[in-house]
Amino acid sequence: MRQLVLDTETTGLNARTGDRIIEIGCVELINRRLTGNNLHFYVNPERDSDPGALAVHGLTTEFLRDKPKFAEVAAQLRDFIADAELIIHNAPFDIGFLDVEFGLLGLPRVTECCGGVIDTLVQAKQMFPGKRNSLDALCDRFGISNAHRTLHGALLDSELLAEVYLAMTRGQESLVIDMLGDVPAAGTSLNPRIALDDLDLVVIAASSQEASAHESVLDGLDKAVKGTSVWRAQPDVVENVEAAA
């Protein structure tokens, strides 16, 4: 599976009123592994950045003046993202700017070129409701160092977001690995390695003190998610074992 973590920097916040892309960064993942096959452009927007945007990215008009215009990199960008799944933090912002840039050149929208879009901001809000879910906040939450990030940069932010995305979805990775480990080699059977029917398994139930401590932990989880945690939705193992006895 080929995925691209993508980020842009722009002259301002609104592509519909003339703001333009000034930097594009793409970091490639193949089967959830960084490949080092990345794409990075600085782009001459043919206009100045808004003061607020300039304070964020620090890319001056003078620095960008000799860089290629978007029309000069559009084909290479489209070829690079073709059929790949894009991973973007606050995807509507970046996709909106790219669609406007492609539209000015008479080219189809991003979603007609790529293989789908994952918005990590939406994912983060679902995982951490009511909390800050900026890229910096997620780096702090997952223990990813961003000390070298004094200004926003499309490639640097893409590299950080790639680490954040892998950390956010690590459970999925473990599941995939487990599933791959269950696939038998060609010509082998699915016979169990251990005859479980011959084993006399002992079930040790939790003490009342342990059960009380467990309930306290679940109460804390319920409070954290402002609802019922997934662990309370699971069937009671002890009851199931007694029913089967």
Q: What's the CA gap between 132 and 220, in Å, rounded?
A: 20
**If pLDDT is split at 50, 70 and 90, which confidence band does 245 have?**
very low
Q: Is 148 annotated as a binding residue?
A: no
What is the mean predicted confidence (pLDDT) over 189-212?
Answer: 63
**If pLDDT is split at 50, 70 and 90, which confidence band does 178 have?**
very low
Q: What percent of the chain has pLDDT over 70?
A: 78
In a domain, 155, yes or no: yes
**Do 119 and 229 sit in the same domain of this protein?**
no
Question: Is residue 197's pLDDT more than 60?
Answer: no
Residue 152 a catalytic site member: yes
Closest CA to 229 of 211, 212, 217, 213: 217
Query: What does the pLDDT look like over 20-38, one tens digit per residue?
Result: 999 999 999 999 999 999 9
**Do 114 and 206 sit in the same domain of this protein?**
no
**Do 207 and 105 sit in the same domain of this protein?**
no
Which of 15-19, 50-54, 65-69, 195-199 shows the lowest per-residue confidence on average (mean pLDDT)? 195-199
Q: Is 7 annotated as a binding residue?
A: yes
How far, in whole angstroms, is CA 105 from its chain's centroid?
29
**Do 11 and 97 sit in the same domain of this protein?**
yes
Identity of the residue numbered 216: S
- Catalytic one among 40, 89, 152, 214? 152
Q: Is 57 annotated as a binding residue?
A: yes
Question: Is residue 188's pLDDT more than 50?
Answer: no
Q: Is 94 annotated as a binding residue?
A: no
161 vs 34, 59, 152, CA distance in Å? 12, 21, 12
Question: Is residue 107's pLDDT more than 60?
Answer: yes
Q: Give me the domain span that covers residue 65.
A: 2-177
